[in-house]
Amino acid sequence: MRGYSPRNKKTRKTKGDENMKQETKRKQENKQTERQTRWYDEDLPSLIEVDLEKSLSHEARKWALDFSNPEHIGEHTWNEFCGLLIQNAGDYRVRCILAIDCFDAKIGLSMYKTTFNAIGVELELGEFTIVAPDRREDQAASEDVKVAEAPGMEVV
């Protein structure tokens, strides 16, 4: 029978501490994952001067007024560059209903928010916005593989 030694106690304590740290880390990662499924105003970055000027330009505000017109309720637009899908929800409210999980989408949302706020239209996020993983690079890579594997003319 093996006897008790302080060394075993120390080893057990260290393993217990490591397990606790790992569990805490897992919980934090889960919270981050949960948080990433929805974006809120506080998740949006501050705009640099150039983006702020574009957001407040006459053209941007004119487009936003036309898009948010109550007569256009239900209309939506897909911004492929940013990975954002926004929809006119009526009563001078616009909703982001889909955002690709990338930094460009957050910048784009921040720009939309600035533009719509400038004309008195509310941009709704949070529970209205689904944040989807960015699979655009995966699709581009798989298309490259398909092109590389495509049979071609053989030179004899």
**Which tens digit of pLDDT belongs to each residue from 76-104?**
999 999 999 999 999 999 999 999 999 99
Residue 130's alpha-carbon distances to 91, 100, 113, in angstroms, are 22, 8, 17
Contact 138, 109 (CB under 8 A): no
0.75 surpassed by pTM: no
Stretches where the chain sits below pLDDT 70 are: 1-16, 20, 23-36, 137-156
Task: Give dist(CA 30, CA 40) in Å, integer.
Answer: 18
pLDDT for position 151: 59
